């Protein structure tokens, strides 16, 4: 059994001087992640893991790792216990056998590899990723709590801008990244938001329950924007930070565009995801490692409607 302690997952120890990840091991780990996704339906969880490791970045702090970002710090218990990270210990447990198998891959790279692969395998865009992120070595290097966005702040637009501008992201990137909520569910026992279950989540896939933002919540497309705009289905979740992208004048320009044009959404999302995944990271070699050596093309559709609750029974 995998246990998390102050020093991170107990079955491995981080080297004192982290090196660049091994390219061949990165490629093999990606294939194992695809197999994991096929059997566990953990796409949303892995996307969130990568985001939350990178999303602590503060552009106003120059020093690494004090600046936060994609550095593998989320493997430590002190950071996993941050309120915004509820449930992410499950993502670490799923990935730990892969980390043990490929010791030449850093946690920071593994988290971002898993996140990008999950988007692509759910039918999303090919993301122009690079690897070679250096891991922090101890829990004392974790960022303080409070750097990640809340779901229901008093002023949602101001809150989103405060958080994402601190990372160096702009309004277009905020809205594009919000579109990743096309994947996944909110569970009230973790976040305090959403219904215990709906007609779309009561039968899984995976563990049943929670409230999804979209009907087919394991398919990456532009349904999130369409569904918020229509606001016709009480079984679909709309958080204050979701609703505001169609209320704020600047955000609304991009949200309307993505609701009408999935290709435009995919293009902007892929660029924003790649940018987020690099935030705060220290790369060895400095230029990073590229393993996406095949043609850039959309991932094939992985899920069929039969795997979802129909919502009609």
Give the residue numbers marked as catalytic.
Answer: 52
How many alpha carbons fall within 13 Å on the CB side of residue 14?
A: 24
Crossing angle for the helix pair 89-101 and 43-54, nearest 10 degrees?
90
Q: How far does CA 263 lie from the centroid of its chain?
A: 20
- Residues 80, 4: contact at Cβ < 8 Å? yes
Burial 295-311 (b: 16+ CB within 10 A, else e): eeeebeebbeeeebbee
Q: Which residues pair with 8 in a beta bridge?
A: 5
Phi and psi dihedrals of 186, rounded to 5?
Answer: -105, 130
């Amino acid at each position: 059994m995998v246990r998390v302690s102050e020093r991170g997952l107990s079955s491995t120890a981080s080297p004192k001087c982290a090196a660049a990840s091994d390219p061949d091991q990165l490629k093999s780990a990606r294939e194992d992640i695809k197999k994991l996704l096929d059997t566990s339906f953990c796409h949303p969880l892995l996307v969130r893991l990568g985001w939350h490791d990178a999303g602590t970045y503060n552009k106003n702090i120059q020093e690494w790792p004090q600046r936060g970002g994609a550095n593998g710090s989320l493997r430590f218990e002190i950071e996993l216990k941050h309120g915004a990270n509820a449930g992410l210990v499950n993502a670490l447990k799923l990935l730990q056998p892969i980390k043990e198998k490929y010791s030449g891959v850093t946690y920071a790279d593994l988290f971002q590899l898993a996140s990008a692969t999950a988007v692509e395998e759910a039918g999303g865009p090919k993301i122009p990723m690079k690897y070679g992120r250096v891991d922090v070595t101890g829990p004392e290097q974790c960022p303080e709590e409070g750097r990640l966005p809340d779901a229901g702040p008093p002023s949602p637009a101001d809150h989103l801008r405060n958080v994402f501008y601190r990372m160096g992201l702009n309004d277009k990137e905020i809205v594009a990244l919000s579109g990743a909520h096309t994947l996944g569910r909110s569970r009230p026992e973790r976040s305090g938001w959403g219904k215990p279950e709906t007609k779309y989540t009561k039968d899984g896939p995976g563990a049943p329950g929670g409230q999804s933002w979209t009907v087919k919540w394991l398919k990456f497309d532009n349904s999130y924007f369409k569904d918020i705009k229509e606001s016709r289905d009480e079984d679909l979740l709309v958080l204050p930070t979701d609703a505001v992208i169609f209320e704020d004048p600047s955000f609304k320009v991009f949200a309307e565009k993505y609701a009408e044009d999935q290709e435009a959404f995919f293009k902007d999302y892929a660029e924003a995801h790649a940018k987020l995944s690099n935030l705060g990271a220290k790369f060895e070699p400095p230029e990073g490692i590229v393993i996406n050596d095949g043609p850039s093309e959309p991932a094939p559709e992985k899920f069929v409607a039969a795997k979802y609750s129909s919502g009609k029974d």
